[in-house]
């Protein structure tokens, strides 16, 4: 198989927001660096958010990748402050469609294909009109994609709210989704964003294929369902291309030397890293329980602590000051002193990828964003899954029940405070028990399969080649050069 595609030009369409732009850029770099493809990333921008590329920290493959920011769209007259995120994104992209069309039409060299991100599904029509191949990129799992696609059927067949269903939601050939695990736009069917989400899923089948940031070994069954399950294929018949795991590069950060120094002094795989992501805030009561749980477990830890959410505090142990630059003063009294030989606190933010890849880290208590999940797997670290937001629940369930590299609390942490005894037990199970060691072994295998997959000749690499070959053949046919 030819693996260099020097003659191809691909346009990647990114919806607004760093969370969408970064996966698009990572994909662009991969196409350029591994396959010599020319890539133009078209970025939808809005009047309210500043031009995103100014904020970029991702070094681009300068010879082959360029980023074009579309003029900002103004959606202020189309949304109200309570319009939810998914609905807003859909409206932004819809408003930007004429801009996308004219930007592509004006290019000196017409792209051979567009790769649209999951909120840009309405661009399928533009691609068709301009004679380009069209693919969709979902920087997430096959399972999440199956749910998105199948939601149109659930919408027809299920009465009432999904979250009130007595039984898990069945998706042909895939693991069923527990009602409590449904993604954000499925939480309330009366919301506009539910309908937008259903329509996004319907439009997936307008594309020539879907690229997924997953890999064959991680999700073999679900990928197989897309390929072979007749019921699922009656809804969506296009090929899926598992091309992952693509992850953002580890940024070299000036890690405070006391953190690295401290980690260097700990035994291998003996420290649990506790962090709930950039948006992750716990209640004051939950922070107390977590602190006690960590202390009782007697395990070593590095904890990225953030002040509690406001409003739920009437506890003398706490002080709600959000400005601290020393010792957080909302932890149980004496906690820091008692754990000083065992634990390290980092206020607000830590260089996660670097910490996770340190040999002293043996476990990760995480909110299970897909970034964090991939970073954990590719650093050989099993997880205590602590989902905070709807879209993370599916990840948590997936990791615990499908892949077997995570433990989770009995009840969703968003529903009930997880008590210290349970936290203690989860941490001990992960760090001390055979169960945790088995997960560590499994995660190591996963990492190896992930790395092998990305190498030249590996399954994810081949999957990308297969996709690019199709684009190349199509281009050849269009030029009458049938190859
Ligand atoms: C994933 O990482 C990117 C790059 O740092 C960040 O912008 C994005 O918000 C992250 N996504 C989530 C869900 O944390
Ligand atoms: C497809 O999924 C349905 C529903 O889960 C299942 O009954 C059927 O056996 C599957 N078919 C194949 C070929 O896997
Ligand atoms: C700890 O991990 C490092 C890096 O993987 C390795 O070189 C070293 O041999 C390990 N030490 C022990 C005691 O296993
Ligand atoms: C995992 O969580 C991220 C948000 O952090 C979301 O974008 C992604 O779709 C989730 N994946 C699954 C399988 O739920």
Q: Are residues 366 and 457 in the same domain?
A: no
Banded pLDDT at 258 (limits 50, 70, 90): confident
Ligand 1 within 6 A of 229 CB? no
Which atom of ligand 4 approaches the CA of 371 most closely?
5
- The helix-helix angle for 390-397 and 142-157 (nearest 10°) equals 120
Q: Which of 9, 112, 117, 208 is catalytic?
A: 117
Ligand 1 and 201: CB distance under 6 A: no
Cα gap 414→24, rounded to integer Å? 31
Ligand nearest to the CA of 234: 2
Closest C-alpha residue for ligand 2 atom 4: 172
- Whether 7 has a pLDDT exceeding 80, the answer reads yes
Q: Is the pLDDT of residue 32 over 60?
A: yes
User: Residue 139 CA: which ligand is closest?
Assistant: 4
Strands, sheet with 209-212, edge to edge from the N-terminal-most edge strand: 65-69, 38-43, 9-14, 113-117, 133-138, 209-212, 240-242
- For residues 122 and 236, state if they share a domain: yes
Q: Which residue's CA lies nearest to atom 4 of ligand 3?
A: 359
- What pLDDT, on the 0 to 100 scale, is given for residue 316? 24
Does residue 312 have a pLDDT over 90? no
Query: For residue 317, what pLDDT is reported?
Result: 27
Domain enclosing residue 369, as ranges: 258-432
Q: Give the predicted TM-score (pTM) of the model.
A: 0.89
Distance CA 306, CA 313 (A): 15
E strand map for 145-288: 209-212, 240-242, 271-275
Angle between helical axes of 220-228 and 142-157 (0-180°, round to 10): 50
pLDDT at 55 > cutoff 60: no
Q: What percent of the chain has pLDDT over 70?
A: 91
Q: What is the pLDDT of residue 255?
A: 57
Ligand that comes closest to the CA of residue 230 = 2
Whether residue 98 lies inside any domain: the answer is yes
Mark whether 100 and 128 lie in a shared domain: yes
- Residue-wise pLDDT for 367-378, tens only, equals 998 788 989 999
Is residue 16 domain-shared with residue 143, that is, in the same domain? yes
User: Looking at the predicted structure, is the pLDDT value of residue 314 above 80?
Assistant: no
Q: Which residues of 153-191 are buried (b: 16+ CB within 10 A; e: fewer)?
A: bbbeeeeeebeebeeebebbbbbebbbbbbbbbbbebeb
Which of 62-66, 329-333, 343-347 bottoms out in mean pLDDT, i.e. has the lowest? Answer: 329-333
Is 348 a residue whose pLDDT tops 80?
no
Ligand 1 neighbour 321 (Cβ under 6 A): no
**Which backbone phi and psi does 8 adopt, to 5 degrees?**
-90, 145
Q: Are 289 and 426 in contact (CB under 8 A)?
A: no
Residue 322 has pLDDT above 50, yes or no: no
CB count in 10 Å sphere of residue 228: 10
Instruction: Tell how far the Cα of 389 is from the centroid of ligand 4, in angstroms.
Output: 10
Q: Which residues lie with the beta carbon below 6 Å from any ligand 3 atom?
A: 268, 359
How much distance in Å is there from the Cα of 371 to the middle of ligand 1? 6
User: Distance (Å, rounded) from C-alpha 153 to C-alpha 356?
Assistant: 40
Nearest ligand 3 atom to the CA of 268 is 1
The verdict on 272 and 325 lying in the same domain is yes
pLDDT score of 281 = 82
Residue 47 pLDDT: 74
Confidence of residue 42 (pLDDT cuts 50, 70, 90): very high
Q: In angstroms, rounded to a whole number, what is the distance separating the alpha carbons of residues 456 and 462?
A: 8
From 16, 18, 23, mutation site for ligand 1 pocket: most ligand atoms within 8 A of C-beta: 18
Do 226 and 158 belong together in one domain? yes
Residues 106 and 191 both lie in one domain: yes
Residue 264 C-alpha from the chain's centroid? 30
Question: Would you give the DSSP letter of residue 160?
Answer: S
Identify the pLDDT of residue 478.
Answer: 80
Give every CB contact of residue 447 below 8 A, 6+ residues apart in sequence.
Answer: 377, 378, 379, 380
Q: Whose CA is nearest to atom 4 of ligand 4?
A: 369
Same domain? 16 vs 152: yes
Atom of ligand 4 nearest to the CA of 367: 5
Whose C-alpha lies nearest to ligand 3, atom 8? 268
Please spell the DSSP secondary structure of 355-399, one letter per residue. Answer: HHTSTTEEEEEE---HHHHHHHHTTT--EEE---SHHHHHHHHII
Q: Are residues 408 and 300 in the same domain?
A: yes
- In sequence order, the β-bridge partners of residue 10 are 39, 113
The verdict on residue 437 lying in a domain is no
> 18 CA distance to ligand 1 centroid (A)?
7
pLDDT of residue 176 exceeding 70: yes
- Average pLDDT for residues 247-251, to the nearest whole number? 75
Measured from the CB, is residue 2 less than 6 Å from ligand 2?
no
Is residue 108 among the annotated active site residues? no
Q: Which residues contact 430 (CB under 8 A, 6 or more apart)?
A: 272, 362, 363, 382, 384, 407, 436, 439
For the CA of 278, the nearest atom of ligand 1: 14
Ligand 3 atom 10 nearest Cα: 268
CA of 265 relative to ligand 4 center, distance in Å: 35
Which of 32-41, 252-261, 409-418 has the highest average model confidence (pLDDT)? 32-41
- Is the CB of 229 inside a 6 Å radius of any atom of ligand 2? yes
CATH number of the domain residue 311 falls in: 3.40.50.2000
371 and 467 in a single domain? The answer is: no
- Per the prediction, the chain carries an average pLDDT of 89
Which residue would you say has higher pLDDT here, 7 or 312? Answer: 7
Catalytic residue at 117?
A: yes
Does residue 326 lie within any of the structural domains? yes
Q: Is the residue at 118 inside a domain? A: yes
Per the CB < 8 A criterion, the answer to whether 332 and 294 are in contact is: no
Mean pLDDT of 339-349: 87
pLDDT bin (cut points 50, 70, 90) of residue 54 is low
Confidence grade of residue 406 (pLDDT, cut at 50, 70, 90):
very high
Q: Is residue 445 part of a domain?
A: no
Please list every protein residue whose CB sits less than 6 Å from any atom of ligand 4: 140-141, 143-144, 369-370, 391-392, 394-395, 398
> What's the rounded mean pLDDT across residues 8-23?
91
Number of folded domains that form the chain = 2
Q: Is residue 251 part of a domain?
A: no
* Ligand with an atom nearest the CA of residue 395: 4
The CA 143 to ligand 2 mean position distance, Å, reads: 15
Q: Which atom of ligand 1 is nearest to the CA of 277?
A: 14
- In the set 20, 35, 61, 194, the catalytic residue is 20
Closest ligand (CA of 231): 2
User: Are 264 and 391 members of one domain?
Assistant: yes
In a domain, 110, yes or no: yes
Whether residue 163 has pLDDT greater than 60: yes
At 71 the three-state DSSP class reads coil
Residue-level pLDDT at 365: 97
**Domain assignment of residue 444, yes or no:** no
User: Does one domain contain both 212 and 268?
Assistant: no
Lowest mean pLDDT among 20-29, 142-151, 320-329, 342-351: 320-329
């Amino acid at each position: 198989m030819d693996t260099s595609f020097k003659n191809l030009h691909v346009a990647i369409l990114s919806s607004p927001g760093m969370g969408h732009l970064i996966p698009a850029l990572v994909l662009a770099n991969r196409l350029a660096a591994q396959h010599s493809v020319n890539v133009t990333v078209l970025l939808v921008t809005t009047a309210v958010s500043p031009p995103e590329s100014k904020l970029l920290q991702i070094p681009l493959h300068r010879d082959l990748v360029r980023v074009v920011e579309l003029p900002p769209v103004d959606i202020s007259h189309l949304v109200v402050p309570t319009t939810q995120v998914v609905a807003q994104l859909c409206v932004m992209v819809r408003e930007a469609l004429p801009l996308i069309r004219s930007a592509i039409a004006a290019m000196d060299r017409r792209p051979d294909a567009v790769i649209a991100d999951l909120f840009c599904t309405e661009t399928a029509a533009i691609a068709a009109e301009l004679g380009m191949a069209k693919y969709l990129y979902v920087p997430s799992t096959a399972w999440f994609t199956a749910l998105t696609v199948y939601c149109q059927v659930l919408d027809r067949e299920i009465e009432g709210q999904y979250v009130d269903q007595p039984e898990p939601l069945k998706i042909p050939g895939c693991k069923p989704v527990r009602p409590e695990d449904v993604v954000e736009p499925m939480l309330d069917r009366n919301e506009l964003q539910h309908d937008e989400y259903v329509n996004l899923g319907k439009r997936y089948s307008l594309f020539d294929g879907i690229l997924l940031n997953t890999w064959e070994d991680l999700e073999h069954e679900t990928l197989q369902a897309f390929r072979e399950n007749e019921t699922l294929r009656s809804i969506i018949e296009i090929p899926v291309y598992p091309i992952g795991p693509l992850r953002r590069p580890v940024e070299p950060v000036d890690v405070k030397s006391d953190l690295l120094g401290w980690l260097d002094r700990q035994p291998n795989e003996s420290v649990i890293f506790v962090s709930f992501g950039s948006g992750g805030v716990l209640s004051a009561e939950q922070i107390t329980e977590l602190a006690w749980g960590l202390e009782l477990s007697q395990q070593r830890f590095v904890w990225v602590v953030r002040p509690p959410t406001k409003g739920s505090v009437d506890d003398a142990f706490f002080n709600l000051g959000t400005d601290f630059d020393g010792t957080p003063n909302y932890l149980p009294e004496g906690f820091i002193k008692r754990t000083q030989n065992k634990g390290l606190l980092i206020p607000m933010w830590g260089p996660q990828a670097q910490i996770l890849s340190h040999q002293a880290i043996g476990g990760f208590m995480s909110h299970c964003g897909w970034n964090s999940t991939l970073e954990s797997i590719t650093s050989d670290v099993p997880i205590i899954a602590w989902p905070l937001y709807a879209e993370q629940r599916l990840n948590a369930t997936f990791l615990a029940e499908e892949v077997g590299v995570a433990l989770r609390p009995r009840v969703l942490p968003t529903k009930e405070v997880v008590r210290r005894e349970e936290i203690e037990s989860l941490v001990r199970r992960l760090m001390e028990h055979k169960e945790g060691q088995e997960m560590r072994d499994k995660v190591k295998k996963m990492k190896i399969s992930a790395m092998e997959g990305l190498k030249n000749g590996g399954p994810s690499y081949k999957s990308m080649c297969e996709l690019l070959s199709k684009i190349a053949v199509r281009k050849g046919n269009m030029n009458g050069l049938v190859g």
